[in-house]
Structure 1
């Protein structure tokens, strides 16, 4: 697998206002706001940085507002960019062969 770059990183939080306060007020990052999601694109060292509410992560991963009890709650998400969709499929296959678990299958998103 050939990772090109960190496509994005986001902390995942139950209290998005408090977490955003750390990054915006304490650290001075110019995060944009989209609903409860705070983010900035073209962050040096990564293409995207965000503060992602757990409810939004649950919606993205499972199509529901609550994180399922049977899946450990995440505290962050990291996305890596690969060459193309075929490279992603191959990387997932490789990782599954190494007993890595995924919360959902690969999919194309806007």
Structure 2
């Protein structure tokens, strides 16, 4: 019997350095349902049930992330090395990508169809998280039946 049995990813979020830039991305641009916690206005989070959980958890080697974003196995020195990755499933990847560009985000990958059928746009968040907006058909419950 294992000593630890993990049931699901209970939470994930960036550790922010420049709070306003982070709030601008997650609250204004991505429109996540986050709000300030009562008694701790700088801690912003979702409440239970407001945002579906993680559908995929993976350890992604940096060399593979670099190849996915830049086509090379070394992360380019001009970009901060990400400490984590996160992907947000969106309804319309073209519109979401255009919105990011209009708000000044530098896209590392712009609405690319991957060989496995996922469409992805990737950029670095203000915290240095490798952030993806995706359309992943097999993750939708209506496609599983």
Using the size of structure 1 for normalisation, the TM-score is: 0.54
1:95–1:54 distance in 2 versus 1, CA, 3 Å? same
1:61–1:28 distance in 2 versus 1, CA, 3 Å? farther
Cα distance in 2 for partners of 1:61, 1:27 equals 35
| RMSD of aligned alpha carbons | 2.5
Q: 2:58 aligns with which of 24, 42, 50?
A: 50
- Following TM superposition, the consecutive aligned residue runs of length 4 or more in structure 1 with deviations greater than 2 angstroms are 26-30
| Equivalence for 1:80 | 88
Match of 1:57, SS state, is helix
Cα distance in 1 for partners of 2:76, 2:67 equals 11
Residue 60 (structure 1) aligned with residue 68 (structure 2): yes
1:53–1:28 distance in 2 versus 1, CA, 3 Å? farther
Cα distance in 2 for partners of 1:27, 1:75 equals 25
Cα distance in 2 for partners of 1:76, 1:27 equals 23
Cα distance in 1 for partners of 2:105, 2:96 equals 11
Indicate the structure (1 or 2) with the bigger Cα radius of gyration.
2
| Equivalence for 1:6 | none
Match of 2:65, SS state, is helix
The structure with the largest helix share of the pair is 1
Larger relative CO (CA 8 A, sep 6+): 1 or 2? 1
Counterpart mapping for 1:9-24 below 5 A: none
Q: 1:103 aligns with which of 102, 108, 126?
A: 108
